[in-house]
Amino acid sequence: MFDTKDCFDVAVIGAGMAGIVAARDLSAKGHTVVLLEARNRVGGRTYMKKAFDGKIDLEMGGTYVHWTQPHVWHELQRHNISVLPGLDGDKFHWLADDKVHSGTRSDYEKAVRPLLDRFFADARARFPLPFEASIVDNSDIEKQSLEDRLSSLNLSTYERDLLDGVFSGVVHSYKEQGLAQLLQSVAIYFGDYFAFLETAGFWHIQGGTKILIDAILAESTADLRLSTPVSSVSDNGSHVTVTTISEEKIHARSVIIALPLNTIGDLKITPDVAPPVRAMIEQKNPVMASKIWIRVKGEIEPFTFLAPIGKSPINAVKAESWYEGDTLLVAMCSEAAAIRIDDCDAMEAALRRVLPDIEVVSTAGHCWVTDEFSKGGWMMHRPGNLLGAAPQMRQPHGRILFAGGDIAAMDTGSIEGAMESGASAARDIARALASGKY
Ligand X SMILES: Cc1cc2nc3c(=O)[nH]c(=O)nc-3n(C[C@H](O)[C@H](O)[C@H](O)COP(=O)(O)OP(=O)(O)OC[C@H]3O[C@@H](n4cnc5c(N)ncnc54)[C@H](O)[C@@H]3O)c2cc1C
Instruction: Please enumerate, by residue number, every residue annotated as part of a binding site for FAD.
Output: 37-38, 230
CA-CA distance, 132 to 55, in Å (whole number)?
A: 45
Per CB under 6 A, the segment of 75-83, 134-142, 153-161, 254-262 that binds ligand X is: 254-262
Applying CB under 6 A, does 48 fall inside the site for ligand X? no
Per CB under 6 A, the segment of 9-17, 181-189, 248-256, 301-309 that binds ligand X is: 9-17
**The one among 25, 37, 320, 326 contacting ligand X by CB under 6 A:** 37
CA-CA distance, 390 to 412, in Å (whole number)?
A: 10
Question: Cβ 307 to ligand X, closest distance in Å?
Answer: 18
What distances in angstroms separate CA 107 from CA 83, 94, 100, 103, 113, one per listed residue? 28, 11, 14, 6, 10
Beta strands at 268-270 and 230-235: parallel, antiparallel or unpaired: parallel
**The one among 377, 383, 384, 388 contacting ligand X by CB under 6 A:** 377
Per CB under 6 A, the segment of 96-104, 235-243, 255-263, 299-307 that binds ligand X is: 255-263
CA-CA distance, 72 to 21, in Å (whole number)?
A: 11
Residue whose C-alpha is closest to residue 196's, from 206, 205, 212, 184: 184
CA-CA distance, 320 to 342, in Å (whole number)?
A: 19
Applying CB under 6 A, does 165 fall inside the site for ligand X? no
Question: Cβ 208 to ligand X, closest distance in Å?
Answer: 12
- Torsion, Cα 382 388 393 394, to 10 degrees, reads 110
Applying CB under 6 A, does 373 fall inside the site for ligand X? yes
Nearer to ligand X, 235 or 406 (CB): 406
**The one among 8, 405, 420, 424 contacting ligand X by CB under 6 A:** 405
Sign of torsion over alpha carbons 308, 145, 106, 413: negative
**The one among 10, 11, 12, 13 contacting ligand X by CB under 6 A:** 13
What distances in angstroms separate CA 176 from CA 36, 144, 261, 331, 380, one per listed residue? 32, 10, 16, 22, 9
Q: Tell me the three-class secondary structure of 163-201, residue by residue.
A: HHHHHCCCCCCCCCCEHHHHHHHHHHCCCCHHHHHHHHH
CA-CA distance, 189 to 73, in Å (whole number)?
A: 15
Q: Output DSSP code: residue 225.
A: E
Applying CB under 6 A, does 169 fall inside the site for ligand X? no
Question: Cβ 124 to ligand X, closest distance in Å?
Answer: 22
271 upstream amide cis, omega within 30 of 0: yes
Per CB under 6 A, the segment of 159-167, 303-311, 369-377, 429-437 that binds ligand X is: 369-377
What distances in angstroms separate CA 12 from CA 25, 125, 418, 423, one per listed residue? 11, 37, 14, 12
Question: Cβ 121 to ligand X, closest distance in Å?
Answer: 26
Question: Cβ 1 to ligand X, closest distance in Å?
Answer: 25
Nearer to ligand X, 42 or 150 (CB): 42
Question: Cβ 213 to ligand X, closest distance in Å?
Answer: 10
Nearer to ligand X, 18 or 96 (CB): 18
What distances in angstroms separate CA 332 from CA 45, 247, 300, 361, one per listed residue? 15, 39, 19, 18
Nearer to ligand X, 161 or 176 (CB): 176
CA-CA distance, 221 to 390, in Å (whole number)?
A: 30
Half-sphere exposure of 391 (CA within 13 A, CB side): 10
Question: Per residue in 370-408, is it b (16+ CB within 10 Å) or e — as a string?
Answer: ebebbbbbbbbbbbbbbbbbbebbbeebebbbbbbbbbb
Question: Cβ 13 to ligand X, closest distance in Å?
Answer: 5
Applying CB under 6 A, does 286 fall inside the site for ligand X? no
Window 190 to 209, contacts with ligand X (CB under 6 A): 200
Question: Cβ 60 to ligand X, closest distance in Å?
Answer: 7
Applying CB under 6 A, does 368 fall inside the site for ligand X? yes
Per CB under 6 A, the segment of 39-47, 82-90, 103-111, 247-255 that binds ligand X is: 39-47
Mask of contacts with ligand X, 219-238, x by CB under 6 A? ----------xx--------
Applying CB under 6 A, does 44 fall inside the site for ligand X? yes
Applying CB under 6 A, does 9 fall inside the site for ligand X? no
CB 253 within 8 A of CB 10: yes
Annotated binding site: 37-38, 230
Nearer to ligand X, 269 or 415 (CB): 415
Applying CB under 6 A, does 414 fall inside the site for ligand X? yes
Angle at the Cα of 273 from the Cα atoms of 285 and 260, rounded to 5 degrees: 30
Catalog residues that contact ligand X under the rule CB under 6 A: 13-19, 36-39, 44-46, 61-65, 200, 229-230, 258-260, 263, 266-267, 291, 368, 373-374, 377-378, 404-406, 413-418
